[in-house]
Structure 1
Amino acid sequence: MWWTHLPGIAATLVIMLATLVPTGAMAICQIVADAPYRPNPKKVALAPNEVQIRYIGHSTFELETPAGIRIATDYNDSFKPAIPPNVATMNGAHSTHYTLNPDPSIEHVLMGWNLEGGPIDHDILVGDVRIRNIQTNIRGWDGTSRALGNSIFVFEVADLCIAHLGHLHQRLTDEDLLRLGQIDVVFAAIDNSSTLRHESLMQVLDEIGASLVIPMHFHFFGSLDAFTSRASADGYKVQMATDPILIVKRETLPTERVVYVMQPSGGRGKL
């Protein structure tokens, strides 16, 4: 079935193939940026060192790589790109973070939790991007903990490391942080209710140390204002985007910590 993870032999082959990919295709997740941050205007084609980010809505972003690979995060039946992506990642919190009926034209459907229980591990190469996950626990609606119900997905491409925290419900362990490595751009849920409270979230963001934080999941009234106020107080520079598209590259990552608030471009849903 499409939601099962790769068998051991296949996973080994994927890792072996990684050594054949040109070194410029992916990041090593341990390089710290030191250039001023200047968002680039919308472009038709991406340079080899650029990644395009489009905010679709809720927790769904569309990433486009220099080779034209398109990835939709937390792909679901309500928030999705106009054109089916090459890769869809999902999380199991509730129906705005996954679908059991993905478009059949999507080549890679990566679920962040195992429908049959237990772990699920992804580490694949798709064109010029490496995609891997780190599982965390999640709370059910009844308040009980559901083991390994969420995944942080990491996208390594164009000398950048981009992490989508998913529906994060817990502080990260030292092992989680070690597996993440140095993250440049992080998508973080800031609702302050169904995921982490802002106090815990700010600690997580500080531990991850990404220079660019892009908020998501701010559907509760007042959550965005509360988060930006807290981020400013903690030393982040807050910038409000005027375009749902952002092109990032290592050379223009901020030297100071930036919260970059993107507005959704739509899809079939609304915040």
Structure 2
Amino acid sequence: MWGYKRFFRRTTLETSDYIKDDCLSMHCTVGVVRTRVEGPKQYSIPVPPSDMGQSLTDLLESEVGCDIVFQVGDETFKAHKLILAARSPVFRAQFYGLIGNPNMEKAVLEDVEPFIFKAMLLFIYSDKLPTVQEVTGSSSVCASTIMVQHLLAAADRFGLDRLKQLCEAKLCEEVNADTVATTLPLTEQHRCPQLKTICLKFAAANLGVVMQSEGFRFLEESCPSLLCELLETVASADENSGPLLTRKRSGSSIFGLDLAAEGAAAESVNPNIRRMRRRLL
């Protein structure tokens, strides 16, 4: 028994010495583990633009699932009541209001041109202002302005506020001496104060040319209050036409025009402007 213990102790010591000697000759590699989290790198996944408007427009053109037919003049248009109700409070009341008829299959619309209703439908489904090329096939600026003027009235009638604002912006871009006098009554009738101010300033700056347009005659006959506002704008420009104020206004006048200088030029074109101013004052 004692011999076994001595043998076990000697064997253990020899093994321990061997392990110690071997560890002294061992080469160790030390690795460092980072615990700090680095910020995200600039990776990106391209996302295509929304095609919902195009998908709904395709649905309108294919007439799949249409449940309402509009009779507009001599033309008919098919549409979806739910989509119309989601976009227009007027259509929502007509189809799903307290006195609405959700089972209505046909509706007759008056006081709106077929091509204007088509343009309005395209906006309702696509949420974009259609071009006159898309609606009528024409590409003239005059046809575009006429379409947008009528579309502004339709947007106000059916509660399409975004379409109304898009029409205002487009009419502002296309304002000229031939159309400003016909746009002005629309701004008054459909409550477009920003566009009205722009039209008044433009007309005042180009009064001599505007007075010779056909639209100005209509303005004189049907909207005398607007005519007074126009003359007041001209008179206001005259009052502020001093040399210092003229230099200050030249950078801020609409379309880069100096209203006072333009008003003086207009008098040389048409002497009736001076008489109109005197009557106003």
Structures share fold, TM-score greater than 0.5: no
> TM-score normalized by structure 2?
0.26
Give the greater-gyration-radius structure (CA). Answer: 2
Considering fraction of residues, name the structure with more strand. Answer: 1
Considering fraction of residues, name the structure with more helix. Answer: 2
| Higher relative contact order structure (alpha carbons within 8 Å, sequence separation ≥ 6) | 1
> TM-score normalized by structure 1?
0.26
